[in-house]
Copies of this chain bind each other. A is one copy, B any other.
């Protein structure tokens, strides 16, 4: 059965949720979204292509930083509105802040703490 037929883009206004998980460590790297074209491009290229809600365009992850995500497997959830990508993260960091994971703010007590692992300096990686 065609994987696209298992996806429900309607519920999310044309988008499904996409989670990137480090294939080796199991760490959650980031969450983004895909429209149908992003999903197809991901299948075709073997690298994660998302739909950027803030920039309103296709976003080949790593297009600027070089930190692409090589996709090892894709799974679809039970109701078809989310996909899970197990990836090998080039450069070792998924977050635009240079941290390995975007989920670097852990809630502790009444606040939160930065527990992120800094891998690169974003000022050196992204053009101004």
Contact = CB atoms under 8 A, between A and B. Distances in A.
Contacts of A96: 78
Contacts of A21: 28
Interface string A34-49: 0000000001000000
Contacts of A120: none
Interface string A111-122: 110010000000
Interface residues of A, number: 40
Interface string A94-110: 01110100111111001
B53 A2 contact: no
A1 B104 CA distance: 15
Contacts of A95: 78
A125 interface: no
A58 interface: no
A74 B3 contact: no
Contacts of A102: 77-79, 82
B75 A105 contact: yes
